[in-house]
Structure 1
């Protein structure tokens, strides 16, 4: 007697197909949710990134002339750089002191008022000190004298030493050859030692020593006496 082949029950097969369909729909829904979250994160990031990129592009467009200009060397008295209406764009004056340490002064504009004297607009400068520190300076206007290797600065004069000391005054005379400086106008100073206000200052010993003059008010930071070697004196 031969047994008839058994066939799967219709109910069981339907349930199996239904489960497979639900799993497929759940997997598809999971992938869609993952893509939606990724898209939302990307939109959130781009919302901040794109404006920042736009600002950078605008800044580069505005600053490109300043970033991509050539300076005119006015260091050699024997050379007379070509100037339109007596004005020299982006002048640079540089040299070395007795110890072969370099110094440089530059500006956005210079006007030669005498053979050795130039009026400067937005002068800046930097010089290396015997201690290895770097002294930088900037002001609104200046007068450069090539014969004495000096520059008179005026208008928000700021001197910064790379040890963190900053001096701000209205006017100062800088001797480029011996790294000296002096001012008889009120000065404020800030650095690792604390904060200070005085009637003026003198920079001596080729920039390593700062002497404050006139009525002086000093607020020391805790441990200022151990801050570092070279604290202004």
Structure 2
């Protein structure tokens, strides 16, 4: 009995190479790898978390600053304009050195008001005076001089308010000293309710006030008065 055998598989053909294969050489790393420690990793995570919160806040602040900056500029301009207006409105902005004011009374007799310094007040007609002096010329050629440390002159009404060592010199040698006095230059009159001390050829006198009329020709001492007369006067 014969059996049939199938075709036999061809035996494997060995691969041929040009020569022996050299083993592959690995390149040495250019630098050593650095492994962070646990503390460094924790600090890095904390910095990342802070950056996640900080950067958005800074961005919002920058946007708010950009939006508000023009309004701040306008507010600064308005404040600058207001400040300049206040400076220009100050009464001391107008000061005169050695001013002189002249006028005539109702009988065309001249009077003169002078001072060391005059400062304009809120009113255009009123000035504050330092070391004011008022000269009143009488009809017969005699004169009356009033002076003090401070004063206020109303140019509209020709009224002069004196304060501080008010002194009245009258032609003929009469002297009157008081603390305050009101002088009406238009009428040639003066008055005061502060204590008065007077002296002259008649003697000495003290009183609680005085009234000067007829451009200094008549002086009336008010309140309780005491006089010491000279000679047989």
In structure 2, the residue matched to 1:90 is 98
Q: Please tell me whether the aligned partners of residues 189 and 195 of structure 1 are also in contact (alpha carbons under 8 angstroms).
A: yes
Q: CA deviation at 1:132?
A: 3.2
Q: Please tell me whether the aligned partners of residues 131 and 208 of structure 1 are also in contact (alpha carbons under 8 angstroms).
A: no
Q: Deviations over 1:167-187 (max 9, x none)?
A: 000000001111100000000
2:162 & 2:92 partners in 1: Cα distance? 24
Q: CA deviation at 1:101?
A: 1.3
**Within 5 Å, which residues of 2 pair with 1:86-165?**
86-113=94-121, 114-165=123-174
**Within 5 Å, which residues of 2 pair with 1:6-25?**
none
Q: Please tell me whether the aligned partners of residues 183 and 190 of structure 2 are also in contact (alpha carbons under 8 angstroms).
A: yes
Q: CA deviation at 1:85?
A: 2.8
Matched residue SS, 1:206: helix
In structure 2, the residue matched to 1:34 is none
2:133 & 2:106 partners in 1: Cα distance? 22
Q: CA deviation at 1:131?
A: 4.2
Q: CA deviation at 1:147?
A: 1.1
In the superposition, the TM-score normalised over structure 2's length comes to 0.59
Q: Please tell me whether the aligned partners of residues 129 and 179 of structure 1 are also in contact (alpha carbons under 8 angstroms).
A: no
**Within 5 Å, which residues of 2 pair with 1:163-202?**
163-202=172-211
Q: CA deviation at 1:205?
A: 2.1
1:223 & 1:125 partners in 2: Cα distance? 34
Q: Deviations over 1:8-42 (max 9, x none)?
A: xxxxxxxxxxxxxxxxxxxxxxxxxxxxxxxxxxx
Note the aligned Cα RMSD (angstroms): 1.5
Greater CA radius of gyration, 1 or 2? 2
Q: CA deviation at 1:84?
A: 7.6
Between Structure 1 and Structure 2, how many residues are aligned? Answer: 142
Could you tell me which runs of 5 or more consecutive residues in structure 2 were left unpaired when the two chains were aligned: 1-90
Could you tell me which runs of 5 or more consecutive residues in structure 1 were left unpaired when the two chains were aligned: 1-82, 225-233
Give the direction of change, closer, same or farther, for the CA distance of 1:84–1:198 in structure 2 (3 Å limit): closer
